[in-house]
Chain A
């Protein structure tokens, strides 16, 4: 099983809503990542979890709140978002953050539209 599964695939929310994006992997990876990708742009790192602990927060606004309940799951809680937050949100995992080649395995992404 080499999949990273993200739900939902599409999400439309108002600026006052609270929603969550979910990510799951069963490859035994110990590092998980959230990236934000705007159209025709490269992914931008938001958060890295290593062994279920937050290791990198790229100065992301507090309206984005990550959570790693266990080594297989990663959530991104969304609250009071702005229209400019509309983007494709990618989850990725790697065997261990920063060790070996550490290639990323990506999910298909959750396309978020904020109205």
Chain B
């Protein structure tokens, strides 16, 4: 079975600084998708960024980028120029190709300090 691990239950970052959230996963599949989801307090969960395993190039979305290391099964999220609105719980998630189930990591709570 696939598992997703986020080793940092809580992180904090100063406003305008950069922070990296870690995620590792375990799978025997070669084709899959990885996601970072953000869940602000009492607000809906939204997709931050996704990565297709067959793509070597790391995904980037504005201030958010990932470091995808397929061999190491690592998928970290870098947030640049952190803003107060980035404060949230961040979940790393995995889905194998043609799979219907998303496997979520335990989450990392990010605080942004003014």
Residues on A lying within 8 angstroms of B by beta carbon are 4, 31, 40-43, 45, 48, 50, 55-56, 90, 97-99, 101-109
Query: What chain A residues lie within 8 Å of B45 (beta carbons)?
Result: 43, 90, 104, 106
- Taking CB atoms and an 8 Å cut-off, the chain B residues in 2-59 that contact chain A are 33, 35, 37, 43-47, 50, 52
A45–chain B nearest beta-carbon distance, Å:
6
Main secondary structure of the interface of A (DSSP, over half): loop
Residues of B within 8 A of A (CB): 33, 35, 37, 43-47, 50, 52, 89, 91, 95, 97-102, 104-107, 109
Tell me, rounded to whole Å, the shortest Cβ–Cβ distance linking A111 to chain B.
Answer: 9
Q: Is the CB of A104 within 8 A of B47?
A: yes
| B95 near A43: Cβ-Cβ < 8 Å | no
| A-B pair number, CB within 8 angstroms | 50
The answer to whether residues A102 and B44 also contact, given A40-B107, A56-B100, A56-B101 and a CB cut-off of 8 A, is no
8 closest Cβ pairs, A-B complex: A42-B104, A106-B45, A97-B100, A108-B44, A98-B98, A98-B100, A48-B100, A106-B44
A41 touches B33 (CB 8 A): no
Closest residue of chain B to A44, judged by CB?
B104
Are A41 and B106 in contact, CB atoms less than 8 angstroms apart?
Answer: yes
